[in-house]
Amino acid sequence: MIIGSGGSTGTSVSSQNSSSKKVSPSGQTNNPLAVHSGVKFLKGMQNTVGSALGAAGSVQKSKPQKSQSSGILGDIGSFFGGVYHTVTHTGEQWTKDGVQWGKDAAHFAGSVVSKNPAGAAVGGLIGGPLGIFLGASAEGAVHQFSSYAHSDSHLSIQTHSSGASIGGKTAGLRAQDSANALLNQFSLKPSGMYSDTPTSGKPTSVWAESQAVNALIDTGHLNKAQQALNRLQSTYGQGNGMDPNPNVGFPQNRFYDDNSWVGQDYMQLYQKNHNPKDLQQAEKIFSFLQTGEQTTKPPDGNGACYLPMKGGMQWEENQSPQLNGTATGAAAELGAQLYQATGNAKYKNFAEQNLNFMNQHLSDSSHPGLYDNSLNLSSQKGSSSQKQIQIYNKSTHQWQTFSYSQNKSLYTYNQGTAIGAGVSLYQSTHNPKYLADAILTAQASQNYFNDVPNALSKSSQTLLMHDPSISHSSVESAASETRFWKEPPSFNAIYFRNLQGLNQELAQVSKNPKESQQLQEYLKSSTIPGNSNRTYAQQLQEYSGQNISSPGGVRNYAANLNNNSRQSLQNYLNRAWSQSRDPKTGLFTGGGIGHYGSETGTLLDQSGMVQMYSLLSTWHS
């Protein structure tokens, strides 16, 4: 969804807001938290029970309850949660988690039991034992069934969430909490559409709406998702594709990445309900996407372009081309999904061509396995040393030569779509190349986006911690400002969705001796894109320190990649819940978290958070 240049943090890149312009994902300035966490005072405490008491006493007071008694009893829940996890798991982080689990459990129980002070007090009494119960579910053994009465009188959400416990409520419950906030804050009733911000009152862009649909599907709101897609088609539809924004008049130049996301929404619904109409809609959108793929012969009327090879998607129709990594990867992923569903070779060929284009023209030379953002038209008269591209002029019916440059910005969702397309093609063809490329991208992206580019040294952290004018939490934030944290949530959601799919597929391959051996041999003998002197196995060992070529190497590597991938998502979501989420609105607006465009707390950001909590609820170690 991007165009422009610059780095991956705070750069000017593009997408859609309430006008049809493209805007930039950016990160907020890192503001110190209002309350400093008492958990840091646990350092030096040797007695485990003493640690729990210190944690329970120093954790900030929460305000979900409506009476003083419920607050006190909530802290009792905090204490029990802290004791359990301090005794069971040594270390500061486990203590912090245990305290938070108990506290969240008490508050959650209070709100479920009743909406009045007496009910909240009862919830506090329940919270202590429930904190211990939830604490025991650290690896996803506990299944919770809860009912929420949504403000929409027609909706009663029955939640069944299993999986990773993160700070008290399971990831599934947090997904539902965040989905409720989305429905409360952004729904334009009775139209079935959604606004860009809680106060705009106008339908949002196709790009944002597509991600909201994805979030609704993930949290079980299939009817609402179908209704939103139907309104998208009737309101935004132009031919086989969709206009980007309903607020600026029609027709508009359509964006190929926007339409790919909607096509993937239809495929996700099709996988849930097997309604052939959803598959037909995805195929219809695909036919529009084909007009944006570069070609090797004069086009029939859509002004495509060509390089010496096929593949590569324009970003926007009827414009001087930007061969865009987002549009190319998303379209390739949709093509691969359609091939899985139909067996039609045209979808397979399309997906393969576009993945090949990404490998040959968008591979990042400094980070093997990662993909740059785009190839941009730079001038009509380029020097002989610049790369050349030919554009077909519809007015003169002639080809013109232009030079182009590579936009080397790195974004999570560009890596995610390449991973997803590779996994889908592997599942259909069992060609190990597609899985090898996806694994390399996964490992490279985990290394790159988990990195803290402006990390404080340990000595600097210690000095700042002793400065009474600086909150401990602000020091901790500065010491852990990963690239993931500064990416927009919608980008990260696309990335982690596809990363989870890779890990699930790799787990199955590692259990199949034939497929595992085939993959291992390919990794040992084949060289990575852009470097004929380095094999996949060598590059993966450099990135991870693991020898995937050794006996049992694929199985061990698969387990470690899965655990590390899941942990990076859990770390991100833990921090988002504690530092970014506004408990009054349920939106993620604080803590310096990355966001899309100039505003925080938009539909696009919220949709990404819903998707990620839902993903974590089904992601097992």
Residue 620 CB-density burial (10 A; 0-12 exposed, 13-18 middle, 19+ buried): middle
- For residue 144, pLDDT over 70 is answered with no
Least confident span in 354-363, 450-459, 603-612: 450-459
Asked if residue 444 lies in contact with residue 368, where contact means CB atoms within 8 angstroms, the answer is yes
* Tens digits of residue pLDDT in 553-589: 999 999 999 999 999 999 999 999 999 999 999 999 9
pLDDT (average), residues 119-130: 48
Of the spans 12-16, 168-172, 374-378, 524-528, which averages the highest pLDDT? 524-528
* Tens digits of residue pLDDT in 401-434: 767 778 899 999 999 999 999 999 999 999 999 9
Least confident span in 187-191, 537-541, 580-584: 187-191
- For residue 304, pLDDT over 80 is answered with no
**Distance from C-alpha of 507 to C-alpha of 567, rounded to nearest angstrom:** 17
**Distance from C-alpha of 464 to C-alpha of 445, rounded to nearest angstrom:** 31
Asked if residue 255 lies in contact with residue 315, where contact means CB atoms within 8 angstroms, the answer is yes
Q: In the beta sheet, which residues pair with residue 165?
A: 170
Torsion (CA) 363, 368, 371, 376 in degrees, nearest 10: -40
Residue boundaries of the structural domains of the chain: 32-136
Structure token pair of residue 48? 């485990």
Q: What is the mean pLDDT of the chain?
A: 75
Dmax (CA) for the chain in angstroms is: 82
Which pLDDT does position 190 carry in this prediction?
Answer: 82
* Tens digits of residue pLDDT in 353-397: 999 999 988 999 999 999 999 987 665 554 555 667 666 665 677
Which pLDDT does position 481 carry in this prediction?
Answer: 79
* Tens digits of residue pLDDT in 47-65: 333 334 333 333 333 333 3
Element (H, E) at 238: strand 237-238
Measured over the CA atoms of residue 384, residue 385, residue 389 and residue 395, the dihedral's sign is negative
pLDDT (average), residues 511-530: 96
pLDDT (average), residues 602-607: 97
- For residue 135, pLDDT over 50 is answered with no
* Tens digits of residue pLDDT in 4-30: 333 333 333 444 333 334 554 544 333
**Distance from C-alpha of 87 to C-alpha of 420, rounded to nearest angstrom:** 41
Q: In the beta sheet, which residues pair with residue 595?
A: 26
- For residue 97, pLDDT over 90 is answered with no
The residue among 570 and 43 whose pLDDT is bigger is 570
**Distance from C-alpha of 335 to C-alpha of 279, rounded to nearest angstrom:** 12
Please name which of 143, 31, 127, 116 lies closest in space to residue 80, comparing C-alpha atoms.
127
Q: Is 561 helix (H, G, I), strand (E, B) or coil?
A: helix
Which pLDDT does position 316 carry in this prediction?
Answer: 87
Which pLDDT does position 458 carry in this prediction?
Answer: 53
Element (H, E) at 605: helix 603-617
pLDDT (average), residues 200-217: 94
Which pairs with CB-CB distance under 8 Å and at least 24 residues apart come from 582-590?
583/62, 583/63, 583/64, 585/181, 585/185, 585/198, 586/177, 586/178, 586/180, 586/181, 586/184, 586/185, 587/181, 587/185, 587/198, 588/178, 588/489, 590/28, 590/31
* Tens digits of residue pLDDT in 232-250: 888 888 888 888 887 766 6
pLDDT (average), residues 283-305: 70
Least confident span in 27-36, 180-189, 276-285, 610-619: 27-36
Contacts of 88 (CB under 8 A, 6+ apart): 94, 135
Least confident span in 212-226, 296-310, 386-400, 445-459: 296-310
Report the predicted TM-score, pTM, of the whole model to 2 decimal places.
0.72
